[in-house]
Amino acid sequence: MNEAKPLDVETAMRVLRLVSLAAIAASLTACERGTEGTPFEPDPLAAVRFINAVPDTMAMDYRFVDFVTNAGMYDATFRTNQAHYQPVLAGQHTIRVFLSSTDVTVAPTVVNETNFTFVEGKNYTFLHAGFMRAGQSPAVSVNVVEDSPPTPTAGRIALRAVNLAAGLGAMDVFVGTATSGLPSATARWSNVAFGAFTPYVELDTAAYRVAATASGTTTPLVVANTAAPAGSAATGTSSAITGVRISGSALTIVLLPRSVAGSPAPQTSAYTSPAFVFLNDRRPQ
């Protein structure tokens, strides 16, 4: 019997490795295509974003507890929000809101829980607003709303507003281009109740500013004259950023209250007055 030469053994091992790699690749392809050779179907996805509008308590964690996902918002103090959506598996899910703490006796505390069915291809905003402290009105609640912004015509944008300013009552919201002089005599949206969204309106692209007053008045300003984000056009190396000067953009103007004095919510000067934040509803193409 002839003994195998070292070179023959090395060649055989190389062939074996190549055969093994080919088998693995074929197996992966079969997995991607399914057991009957059909194309692999990705999981159905929706999308969600979160906003913490609770002005009288500590930071909170927003978690899906029935499946593993990167969607959620963590260690979120009052006014923390996600301007963009996160993908989430479509279907019915349970979302719990926990107190955010390194104390193991505090961290498991659930302050709100909701079940919601997310529809494939739809975008949603998870709103957490109202007062946490007992006896205060409006009391804290959660709401998940479907977002369906219009597609603005060329050279235009779409805007809407939502009132999450607990304790301030109904609001009038003004939109203008002046750096001073807001509000104008006519509100863009009148008598916006707590928790209510306005319809979208289409406007020409411009450097807009917004202000808010108590319903039926033009003075004093409850939320001061604030510049809306301008956005930026797409370049060869970056995508367009949503803003009032970029055609095709859609945004939500969110009215938020001041933090409750003496509460665990932030107490720096930025939180001692009501304010606006802006959410990106549609990215310009």
Per-residue DSSP letter, 177: S
What is the H or E stretch that residue 60 is in? strand 60-64
Residue 17 domain flag: no
Same domain for 112 and 122:
yes
What pLDDT is attached to residue 42? 83
Which domain-ending residue is among 128, 148, 168?
Answer: 148
Task: Walk across the sheet containing 209-214 and list its strands.
Answer: 189-192, 171-176, 209-214, 221-227
Q: Find the mean pLDDT for residues 42-65.
A: 96
Which domain-ending residue is among 116, 148, 180?
Answer: 148
Indicate if the pLDDT at residue 26 is higher than 90: no
What pLDDT is attached to residue 83? 80
Indicate if the pLDDT at residue 171 is higher than 60: yes
- CATH number of the domain where residue 134 is located: 2.60.40
Same domain for 278 and 200:
yes
Residue 26 domain flag: no
What pLDDT is attached to residue 35? 55
Same domain for 181 and 171:
yes
Same domain for 48 and 137:
yes
Tally: H helices and E strands in the chain: 1, 16
Same domain for 157 and 77:
no
Same domain for 240 and 114:
no
What pLDDT is attached to residue 28? 47
Residue 54 domain flag: yes
Same domain for 174 and 243:
yes
Q: Find the mean pLDDT for residues 6-30.
A: 47
Q: Find the mean pLDDT for residues 202-208.
A: 96
Average pLDDT, the chain: 89
Same domain for 122 and 94:
yes
What pLDDT is attached to residue 246? 97
Residue 20 domain flag: no
Same domain for 80 and 127:
yes
Task: Provide the domain limits for residue 243.
Answer: 150-285
Residue 280 domain flag: yes
State how far the Cα of 252 lies from the Cα of 54, in Å rounded to an integer. Answer: 18
Same domain for 135 and 166:
no
- Which of 29-38, 49-58, 107-116 shows the lowest per-residue confidence on average (mean pLDDT)? 29-38
State how far the Cα of 223 lies from the Cα of 210, in Å rounded to an integer. Answer: 9
What pLDDT is attached to residue 38? 65
Same domain for 165 and 58:
no
CB 240 within 8 A of CB 232: yes
Residue 32 domain flag: no
Same domain for 247 and 230:
yes
Indicate if the pLDDT at residue 10 is higher than 80: no
Banded model confidence at residue 184, pLDDT cuts 50, 70, 90 = confident
Which domain-ending residue is among 97, 124, 148?
Answer: 148
Residue 51 domain flag: yes
Residue 134 domain flag: yes
What pLDDT is attached to residue 3? 47
Banded model confidence at residue 2, pLDDT cuts 50, 70, 90 = very low
Indicate the pairing of strand 123-129 with strand 45-53. Answer: parallel
Number of domain units in the chain? 2
Model pLDDT for residues 68-77, shown as the tens digit of each residue: 999 999 999 9
Model pLDDT for residues 105-120, shown as the tens digit of each residue: 999 999 999 999 999 9
Give the three-class secondary structure for 7. helix
